[in-house]
Amino acid sequence: MPAPRPPATPRQHSAPRRRARPGIRRPGRLIVVGFGLLIVLGTLVLTLPVAHAGPGRVTPLDALFTATSAVCVTGLAVVDTVTAWSVFGQVTILVLIQIGGFGVMTLASVLALLISRRLGLGTRLLAAAETKSVGLGEVRSVLIGVARVSLVVEAGTAVVLALRFATAYDEPIGRSLWLGVFHSVSAFNNAGFALFSDNLIGFATDPWICLPIAVAVIVGGLGFPVILEVVRQHNRPRRWSLHTKITLLMTAVLLVGGTGFVLAAEWANPGTLGPLDTGGKLLAGFFQGVMPRTAGFNSVDTSAMNTGTLLGTDILMFIGGGSAGTAGGIKVATFAVLLIAIYAEITGDPDVTIFDRRMSAQTIRQAMSVALLSVAAVVVATLTIAMSSPYTLDQILFEVVSAFATVGLSTGITADLAPAHQLILIALMYAGRLGPITLASALVLRESHRLYRRAEGRPLIG
């Protein structure tokens, strides 16, 4: 007689998994499409006759280039902003700059929240402790915070500039206010557009113009999480997150180093700092040391700089500013992680540490991926333009890095490049503005865990 069967245990039905919406699974796609549509809309508006200062001055390619440069807060221009665009056109550029800068800060901060939601509980708690500037799920507070920071910095800078234009340069009140608002928005968003044909060369020795703009550029380039945390924890720097400490440290180092480099390289150059007195040289040197933070203002003639200065500026532009801010480049945190990893390898330290915190292998891989892909984009674009352009390699490399890092500094050849080369710069501005953000988020969200590891191999290095 067969043994009785054990009683059947009830089947445990697992709760149905909630399928993520496409926008949540692919946040980078929403950013790319959204900014693309904004560029298209800006191009259409700038092609309208009412946006032009005169008939026959602006082509559709000029409108596309300007709209991309404004939305990507770059500042490169193929036409003179003052003489080519009407007041309506200049207002359109200003609106595109504001939307582009606000959008980048907001989307980068919200992406940080989205990424933290997708991580495991332990990692989320660690992320919450290390990024105290934004809480989990606080999307509304992020939006309000970014808007508040933008308004305060831009309004304060605009007031100082407007008063200076009105009192020292006899500009009418309306004109002074417009100049103050335009340049403050352009500065905080690291755009570099100016309402003077020579940019800010005419104010090279005026600290009341240069210093407020430089401060707005620095603050905008720090990034919203850093700004908010410094404001909240200004009297307790020891409690700042690792990201804030790295960003502030690298920003200070690059500002001091960049200023010293420009002063040393251009002190006697008759085309730049040479004709200025000592005070003027120090101010202009500081201003030009700040602008590679990815703001395209210039108080001296960039095209007259020495070749070595152009190359050093290329490096500063490529590094860029802080994450989740209006600055471009590969970001100072990425550069810091790579430097620390190299130092650890040289010293034989098995761990990559800074401020008593160990960097994970994932963080190092992400930093290497962002940096190497950015280098590849710059090299390919430079080679492509150099093979069919009459300009020197240092000029071409400068324009390419300026476009990709969304800086806006130029040696003056942008408007004279062939249409195909200008299209390459447009693609670089777009990729440089959104690429690091979407790439970094994609690298985190695509991370998977395996239950096995393959055998280790050691190819010869060096």
At 354, which helix (H) or strand (E)?
A: strand 353-354
Band (pLDDT 50/70/90 cuts) for residue 446 is low
Asked if residue 448 has pLDDT above 70, the reply is no
pLDDT of 267: 96
262 and 276 Cβ atoms separated by less than 8 Å? no
85 and 182 Cβ atoms separated by less than 8 Å? no
Band (pLDDT 50/70/90 cuts) for residue 387 is very high
For 59-78, what is each residue's pLDDT tens digit?
Answer: 999 999 999 999 999 999 99
- Greatest mean pLDDT among 79-88, 99-108, 142-151, 220-229: 79-88
Distances (CA, A) of 450 to 139, 447, 453: 32, 10, 7
Within 10 A of 407 (CB to CB), how many other CB atoms are there?
Answer: 35
Average pLDDT over residues 129-136: 43
273 and 285 Cβ atoms separated by less than 8 Å? yes
pLDDT of 369: 86
Band (pLDDT 50/70/90 cuts) for residue 55 is confident
Please choose, from the candidates 74, 70, 119, the residue with its C-alpha nearest in 3D space to the C-alpha of residue 99: 70
Asked if residue 30 has pLDDT above 60, the reply is yes
N-term to C-term CA, the chain: 75
pLDDT of 91: 96
For 76-95, what is each residue's pLDDT tens digit?
Answer: 999 999 999 999 999 999 99
Average pLDDT over residues 120-146: 51
How does DSSP classify residue 52? B
- Cβ neighbours of residue 160 closer than 8 Å, sequence gap 6 or more: 180, 208, 212
Report the helix count and the strand count for the chain, using DSSP H and E: 17, 2
Asked if residue 411 has pLDDT above 90, the reply is yes
How does DSSP classify residue 358? E
pLDDT of 109: 56
Structure-model confidence comparison of residues 237 and 15, the more confident one:
237
pLDDT of 313: 96
Average predicted confidence (pLDDT) for the chain: 84
pLDDT of 287: 97
Band (pLDDT 50/70/90 cuts) for residue 258 is very high
Average pLDDT over residues 248-257: 95
Give the separation between CA 61 and CA 70, rounded to whole angstroms.
Answer: 14
Average pLDDT over residues 446-458: 63
Average pLDDT over residues 31-36: 79
Collapse the DSSP code of 410 into the 3-class scheme (helix H, G, I; strand E, B; otherwise coil) and give the result: coil
Asked if residue 16 has pLDDT above 50, the reply is no
Give the separation between CA 331 and CA 448, rounded to whole angstroms.
Answer: 25
165 and 181 Cβ atoms separated by less than 8 Å? no
374 and 318 Cβ atoms separated by less than 8 Å? yes
> Residue holding tokens 């939601």?
117
For 419-432, what is each residue's pLDDT tens digit?
Answer: 999 999 999 999 88
- Cβ neighbours of residue 11 closer than 8 Å, sequence gap 6 or more: none
Average pLDDT over residues 147-159: 92
User: Alpha carbon 174 to chain centroid distance?
Assistant: 31
Q: Give me 361's structure tokens.
A: 């292998």
For 329-364, what is each residue's pLDDT tens digit?
Answer: 999 999 999 999 999 989 888 888 888 888 888 888
Band (pLDDT 50/70/90 cuts) for residue 450 is low
User: Alpha carbon 199 to chain centroid distance?
Assistant: 20
Please choose, from the candidates 94, 107, 91, the residue with its C-alpha nearest in 3D space to the C-alpha of residue 35: 107
pLDDT of 128: 41
Structure-model confidence comparison of residues 127 and 241, the more confident one:
241
Q: Where are the domains of the chain?
A: 26-445
Please choose, from the candidates 126, 100, 129, the residue with its C-alpha nearest in 3D space to the C-alpha of residue 31: 100
pLDDT of 275: 95
> Residue holding tokens 């149905």?
16
Asked if residue 224 has pLDDT above 70, the reply is yes
Asked if residue 189 has pLDDT above 80, the reply is yes
> Rounded to two decimals, what is the model's pTM?
0.85
For 191-223, what is each residue's pLDDT tens digit?
Answer: 999 999 999 999 999 999 999 999 999 999 998
Give the separation between CA 240 and CA 246, rounded to whole angstroms.
Answer: 10
- Cβ neighbours of residue 102 closer than 8 Å, sequence gap 6 or more: 146, 147, 150, 189
Average pLDDT over residues 368-392: 93
pLDDT of 338: 93
What percentage of the chain carries pLDDT values higher than 70? 79
Band (pLDDT 50/70/90 cuts) for residue 9 is very low
Band (pLDDT 50/70/90 cuts) for residue 444 is low
